[in-house]
Amino acid sequence: MAEPIVRIEGLTFRYRRGTEPALREVDLEVAPGEVLLVAGPSGCGKSTLIRAVNGLIPHAYPGELHGTVTVGGRPTADQKLREIALHVGTLLQDPARQIVGATVEAELAFGPENLGMERSEIRARIGRVSKRAGIEPLLGRETAALSGGERQLLAMAGILMLEPRLYVVDEPLANLDPATASGLLHVLRELADAGHAVLIVEHRVEEALDLRPDRVLYLDEGRAAYLGDVPGFLRVADPAAVKLPFDVVLERFRADPRLAPRDAGVPARPAPLSTEALPTDEPARLEFRGVRAGYDGREVLHGVDARLGSRDIVAVLGPNGSGKTTLFRTAMRLLEPTAGDVLVDGRPTVDRSVAELATTFGFVFQSPSQMLFARTVREELLFGPRNLGRPPERHDAIVDDALRRTGLTDLEGIRERPPLTLSFGQQKRLALAIALALEPPTLMLDEPSAGQDHRTARQFMREVLAVPGLESIYLVTHDVDLALAYATRILLFEAGMIVADGSPADVIGNEDRWTGCNLRVTSLMRANAQWRGPGEPFLDAEALAAFVLAGRAGDHRGQKGAAVGST
């Protein structure tokens, strides 16, 4: 049997500021040709495991370390990061923290140049890798003008340029549309079949199973709760913490009803927010009239018209690079349109500053590190309220409420923690807390579930929907189940234009258009079509499983309008 690329023996690690170990007595080997899926709730130790494998622990993250991690036959503690990088390539959750080149070609060449590779070989690899990673259309572009998903693909291509023995990918699906994500998983499977190894961390297990992992490591509270094949994992994984196929959730709840959350069976979407069309004579909260916009002379939005109401939950879906994030950047004047008008509550945005718009829209960036600059979490949360003149006697209440609603209060010493020391998922929740601290009537969320386990994403969406005074939410997401469970309206983008605008049921009714926009027909979509009647709210997996097991569901297959996939 081939020597493992990575061998971990008795690994226990506690961060310098932590009171409890992030990992406890973990033993693991990763062999050539193997695909290992790592899953578990937020805070279970997944990111710490990755840092141990790629050498950032102990070289960049100080703390108390016990046990050994061996890469390429040598302990990581005895190697330099440069040496470990010859064996291990890592794709981070946040590609903005990984990309350093000003252009796509410069980024692809960066790693090989640092390894002293010949220019002719670098050029040849750029050609091969850009084709394999599907980024040939990005060649010649500046990295700052790329969408979040395009940056994710570029970061992956940068790892492919180095041809490591082990590919470590941390939540690669969060920033990618489902079709592009499927392509990336196919590349990773090919690499494993060719003798490389893949370690993938992912909350969205249903999609990750397309990679056909050989084994699954399920972490819980820093311990290896399970290590074995996929069927065994599906029998033990917490369906509230990791996103499993619906039939698995249903069988797990049937076998043990105690697994169902207390609010299972309740639709995710709240009653107060309206699903009715906005009257044409009523000013929209946000309106786009023939908006064109782009970057570096490349037009992204091609004459977009849309009216978003003050009582809407709008999910914007579509392929990577289709203009979803660009749409909301124009609303915040972070990008000025080249043509057309953007209006907020009936007034052109050109008449208002970015600071004024921030009192209407709480904007959460796709990359949370773009929002973080203060010394502590408390200072970060109070920066906006202080500038808006909120009275000092309210500051503690503002901080406490924002942390509670985003599930951050349980982190020890969170108020005095430096924001950039938090994990990606925690930074994402902090970015949302910053927006909530401004008490805006409307939230704009770019990939709100990225970095969150299934339970946390579900919980903070429900908390946000219950915020007093919050009137509307506009979100960009590639998590179609989350969009369908919470949105009252879907905007479907393709190539910089809106190709569908309507209720979730109406938009998913055309499967050809849905899949043509690089979107996945999920097991939950099929199950809702089967068990729910026409016009009934879309239920998330836990709610639908509880609904079915309570005997309230009828089999609606064949009823007009009930099935996904009419064209």
**What CATH number is given to the structural domain containing 433?**
3.40.50.300
Tell me if 66 is assigned to some domain.
yes
d(CA 512, CA 523): 17
The confidence score (pLDDT) of residue 421 equals 78
**Residue 218 located in a structural domain:** yes
Q: Give residue 533's pLDDT.
A: 84
Domain membership of residue 425 as a residue range: 286-509
298 with 429, same domain: the answer is yes
Looking at the structure, tell me whether residues 416 and 531 fall in a common domain: no
- Confirm whether 446 is domain-assigned: yes
User: What are the pLDDT digits (tens) for 241-257?
Assistant: 888 999 999 999 998 88
Do 438 and 389 share a structural domain? Answer: yes
- DSSP for 501-548 reads EE-HHHHHT-HHHHHHTT----HHHHHHHHHS-TTPPP--HHHHHHHH
Query: Distance of CA 383 to CAs 390, 423, 533, Å?
Result: 10, 21, 48
In this model, does residue 261 exceed pLDDT 70? no
What are the two backbone dihedrals, phi and then psi, of residue 294, each rounded to the nearest 5 degrees? -175, -165
If one counts every other C-beta atom within 10 angstroms of the C-beta of residue 211, the result is: 21
Give the model's pLDDT for residue 266: 54
Domain count of the fold of the chain: 3
How high is the mean pLDDT of the chain?
89
Whether residue 538 is contained in a domain is answered as yes
Whole-number pLDDT of residue 567? 38
Give the span between the Cα atoms of 44 and 24, in whole angstroms: 10
Identify the pLDDT of residue 469. 87
Domain boundary among 255, 273, 302: 255
Same domain assignment for residues 503 and 369: yes
Looking at the structure, do residues 470 and 550 belong to the same domain, yes or no? no
449 and 316, same structural domain?
yes
Considering only CA atoms, which of 424, 314, 319 is closest in space to residue 365?
424
pLDDT of residue 511: 94
- Residue 227 in any domain: the answer is yes
- The reply to whether 106 falls in a domain is no
Task: Tokens 């927010």: give the residue.
Answer: 273
Q: Are residues 248 and 317 in the same domain?
A: no
Between 313 and 559, residue with greater pLDDT: 313
Which of 174-183, 266-275, 383-392, 492-501 holds the top average pLDDT?
492-501
Phi, psi angle pair for 389, to nearest 5°: 80, 20
Same domain, 505 and 526: no
Give per-residue pLDDT as tens, 406-432. Answer: 889 878 789 998 887 788 888 888 999
Asked whether residue 559 falls in the same domain as residue 459, the answer is no
Question: Is the pLDDT reported for residue 274 higher than 50?
Answer: no
Residues 355 and 300 both lie in one domain: yes
What's the DSSP call for residue 415? Answer: G
* Domain final residue pick, 236, 255, 274: 255
Question: Do 452 and 502 reside in the same domain of the chain?
Answer: yes
Average pLDDT over residues 447-475: 86
Q: Where are the alpha helices (DSSP H) in 297-451?
A: 324-331, 354-357, 377-387, 395-405, 424-437
370 and 290 within one domain: yes
Domain C-terminal end among 463, 481, 509? 509
221 in any annotated domain: yes
Per-residue pLDDT band for 461 (boundaries 50, 70, 90) equals confident
Residue 554 binned pLDDT confidence (cut-offs 50, 70, 90)? low
Residue 397 included in any domain:
yes
Which DSSP string do the residues of 70-106 spell out, in sequence order? EETTEEGGGS-HHHHTTTEEEE-S-GGGT---SBHHH
Q: Is the pLDDT reported for residue 559 higher than 50? A: no
